[in-house]
Chains A and B, each alone.
Chain A
Amino acid sequence: MEEIELRELFFIVWKKKWLIVLITLISIIASAIISFFILPSEYETYTTLMVGKSKEYSGMNQGIEYNDVLLNKQLVSTYGELAKSRAVGQKVIEDLDLDMSHGAFSEKVNVSLVNDTEIIKIVVSHKDPEETAIIANKTAEVFMEEVKEKMKIDNVQVIDKALVPEGPVSPKPMLNIAIAAVLGIMISVFIIFILEYLDNTIKTPNDVEKHLGLPVIGMIPKTADK
């Protein structure tokens, strides 16, 4: 293997700096166009529900019992699965007259349990901001009815109602452009090294001596006008 100096590596890249500029610019412009004009905007909002009602606790003199909390915690995972169930999804779609399948719905609605708490979080992402909030609140509502109906207990309450989101969560044009810029630079440097590797021409006196075994008796600089 021949040794390549760091300085030489730099000049290999520097020599083709226009290629880096070009490729990076193209990828930035492409990602900007895709982010601003092609990718649909997605809005996101969430509603949080808590398992366990204040009246349950307040009904007892000693306040919050440890067992109540423990019970509720165990219930939370059951409730979480219930919230994800097709029964809930189907009902929300029907009630809101949404034009989507259950599969599409479950992609948009994400039910998660906040760790070690009694809180269920329903996150909805959708292309229309107002509809996003409506779906979130409707899902919470249907879910609570469902709990009441199936479990015969009414111990779920809404903490935060879903708000209409102010701005889209995706696409993130600035992030996309930054990623495109970094990728553009990386790809162009990669291309430059590939080109350099594939370039099998004689460039320096060292190349002449190494490949031809002939002495270099003259080195003529390039004329400016040719």
Chain B
Amino acid sequence: MSRYKIVTHYDPKSPIAEAYRTLRTNIQFSNFDKKLKSIVVTSAGPGEGKSTTAVNLAVSMAQDNKAILLIDCDFRKPQMHKYFATSNRAGVTNIIAEGMEQDLASTHIKDFKLDVLPSGPIPPNPSELLGSNRMKEFIESMENIYDMVIIDAPPVGVVTDASIISTYVGGVILVCGSGQAHIEASKHAKELITKVGGNILGVVLNKIPMNEGRYAAYSYQSYYGDSK
């Protein structure tokens, strides 16, 4: 499943990869007052493309010669390890619950110049674990080591995890699946994050159908010629 989803790596000249690079640039410029060091990616509902966005954003930032740590904080349905075909035997939960060293739990993916920290064994109380002081301290320490920490979280409209994470990260990216994200659900998601003081950087509109004329105006041109 990983090959076509990490399009920024496998097909870097494609319009989709270009779209992720535009996202990267927009994030770089969205918070120039304070240095943005950590981002959580979430959405209102499941299946809108959170993990894919998180992975591609991380990869395109790593391509920009930044030290990136990608953390899977979706303890309910962890997926990061599947994208990079790595083990999920050790991860965030081990670090927080058992005090495992971060560099033991995370894997450096050479091809992507990227450190990936999978979720680890699924804990019985994910929300409490994410809300713990140890978790906050861990993210802070990671912000000191890496240029950017990108966190994949469960849908904010379904469980509270993402809004908890948003309290101690620099910014929140809300992914909306085009033609999929309901207006009310998305409004609710926005409220949940802003209520706890989360800083929403903006919305990533995902899965835009490009072959339909009404979207033609938004289509990206590849600056590098043909994508193949």
* Chain A positions near chain B (C-beta within 8 angstroms): 7-8, 11, 14-15, 199-205, 207-208, 211-223, 225-226
Contacts A208-B203, A214-B174, A217-B202: A202 and B22 contacting too (C-beta < 8 A)? Answer: no
Contact status A220-B20, CB under 8 Å: yes
- Contact partners of A205 in chain B: CB under 8 A: 205, 218
Contact status B212-A15, CB under 8 Å: yes
Assembly CA distance A66 to B219 (angstroms): 85
Assembly CA distance A225 to B1 (angstroms): 11
Smallest Cβ-Cβ distance to B214: which chain A residue = A11
Contact status A218-B20, CB under 8 Å: yes
- Contact partners of B203 in chain A: CB under 8 A: 208, 212, 214-218
Contact status A208-B176, CB under 8 Å: yes
Assembly CA distance A11 to B23 (angstroms): 27
Contact status A217-B207, CB under 8 Å: no
Contact status A217-B204, CB under 8 Å: yes
Q: Is B129 an interface residue (CB 8 A)?
A: no
Shortest beta-carbon distance from A88 to chain B in Å: 68
Contact status B180-A201, CB under 8 Å: yes
Contact status B178-A203, CB under 8 Å: yes
Interface SS majority for chain A: mixed
Contacts A205-B218, A214-B174: A221 and B183 contacting too (C-beta < 8 A)? Answer: no
Q: Is B224 an interface residue (CB 8 A)?
A: no
Contact status A211-B16, CB under 8 Å: no
- Contact partners of B209 in chain A: CB under 8 A: 221-222
Contact status A221-B220, CB under 8 Å: yes
- Contact partners of B19 in chain A: CB under 8 A: 218-221
Stretch at the interface among B139-147, B157-165, B184-192: B184-192
Shortest beta-carbon distance from A218 to chain B in Å: 3
| Interface set, chain B 1-39, CB cutoff 8 A to A | 4-5, 7, 15-16, 19-20, 22-23, 26-27, 30
- Contact partners of A225 in chain B: CB under 8 A: 4
Assembly CA distance A19 to B107 (angstroms): 49
| Interface set, chain B 177-227, CB cutoff 8 A to A | 178-184, 186-187, 190, 200-210, 212-215, 218-220
Contact status A202-B205, CB under 8 Å: yes
Shortest beta-carbon distance from B209 to chain A in Å: 5
Contact with A along B26-54 (1 / 0, CB 8 A): 11001000000000000000000100010
- Contact partners of A207 in chain B: CB under 8 A: 183
Smallest Cβ-Cβ distance to A14: which chain B residue = B213
Contact status A223-B201, CB under 8 Å: no
Apart from A214-B190, A218-B205, list 11 A-B contacts with CB within 8 A.
A204-B205, A214-B200, A214-B203, A215-B203, A216-B205, A218-B26, A218-B203, A220-B16, A220-B207, A220-B208, A223-B16
Q: Which of A15, A207, A216, A220 has the most C-beta atoms of chain B within 10 angstroms of its own C-beta? A: A220
Q: Is B173 an interface residue (CB 8 A)?
A: yes
- Contact partners of B23 in chain A: CB under 8 A: 217-218, 220
- Contact partners of A203 in chain B: CB under 8 A: 178-179
- Contact partners of B20 in chain A: CB under 8 A: 218, 220
Contact status A200-B182, CB under 8 Å: yes
Q: Which of B4, B173, B174, B215 has the most C-beta atoms of chain A within 10 angstroms of its own C-beta? A: B215
Contact status A200-B183, CB under 8 Å: yes
